[in-house]
Amino acid sequence: MDRVGTEASSPFVIALTREEGKNGKLRRALLSSDRIKQLPVQLQELPCIEHADGPDTHKLSLTLASSQFDYIAITSPEAAKVMAAAWIEAGRPNLGMVAAVGKATQEALKKLGIDVAFVPSKATAATLVKELPTSEKATEMGRPTTVFYPASAKAADTLQNGLEARGFDVLRLNTYDTVPASWNEEQIILAQSARVACFASPSAVTAWLANTDNLETPRALACCIGETSAKACRENQWEDRNIFYPEKPGVEGWAISVADALEHLAKNSD
């Protein structure tokens, strides 16, 4: 637990909902925010999701070892971790060009020893679909550009449908899954006190609701890392005025959105 800002009997509780051990970047950004330092705030880690094997996990190493693609599309740090483990197991075969959605995914791949050839201008699958160039080699050979997409089982069809509409040949394997974390009584009480919940994925939104919908307290303000999670909140009946997110996904903008939400709370609690 971290307290920020002035002393107060009832600080604004912020729930950091990424899986255990992955809330550090946002916590540091919040603790260093001059705007947030002016407010009574308490940061609490309350993981909403856990990762598990997907239905195609067992196929990943063999696919990497036996097939060659123009691109491998990696859309999250967890996808990077799963793919890298299978790549090492397969003997580190040539991966072709790797496309990463977002700076965090790019950094995760770099730490795992995998070079990234393409990052879209905005960290969304839809932007990757628009901006991913066709392979010059594929064009010269008169064949479609091939893309391997090791995905979360819960990921939307945006990436493969969009690339296929552009004429790409996409193989998707659901190599991992996200499941709701089970909360104990202490965590449920903590969720009741949260005034702001920070979401990094639609799965986290769904898991939060699964654990809190029976609570009588009002819903926390939703602070999302980007528009995809914000859309999930909207689809689950959060009011637009209670959803905060940056135009460009990322931790820096996410922290600014949390500051916006806290100032909204402070203004309306006066």
Q: Is the dihedral of CA 172, 173, 175, 177 positive or negative?
A: positive
Phi and psi (nearest 5°) for 139? -65, -45
The pLDDT value recorded for residue 8 is: 47
| Mean pLDDT of all residues in 116-137 | 95
The pLDDT value recorded for residue 229 is: 94
The pLDDT value recorded for residue 5 is: 55
Model pLDDT for residues 67-112, shown as the tens digit of each residue: 999 999 999 999 999 999 999 999 999 998 999 999 989 999 999 9
The pLDDT value recorded for residue 219 is: 86
CB 72 within 8 A of CB 114: no
Residue 165, number of CB atoms within 10 A of its CB = 9
At residue 2 the predicted structure's pLDDT band, cuts being 50, 70 and 90, is low
Model pLDDT for residues 61-72, shown as the tens digit of each residue: 999 999 999 999
Model pLDDT for residues 260-269, shown as the tens digit of each residue: 999 999 988 7
The pLDDT value recorded for residue 29 is: 95
CA distance 11 to 82: 38
Q: Is the pLDDT of residue 1 over 60?
A: no
Model pLDDT for residues 171-214, shown as the tens digit of each residue: 999 999 988 898 999 999 999 999 999 999 999 999 999 888 77
Closest CA to 125 of 107, 147, 144: 147
CA distance 35 to 264: 12
At residue 270 the predicted structure's pLDDT band, cuts being 50, 70 and 90, is low
Q: Is the pLDDT of residue 131 over 90?
A: yes
Which residues, 6 or more positions from 121, have their beta carbon under 8 angstroms from its beta carbon?
127, 131
Q: Is the pLDDT of residue 4 over 70?
A: no
Instruction: Considering only residues 10 and 32, tell me which one the structure prediction assigns the higher pLDDT.
Output: 32
Model pLDDT for residues 15-56, shown as the tens digit of each residue: 999 988 889 999 999 999 999 999 999 999 999 988 899 999
Model pLDDT for residues 218-252, shown as the tens digit of each residue: 789 999 999 999 999 999 989 999 999 999 888 99
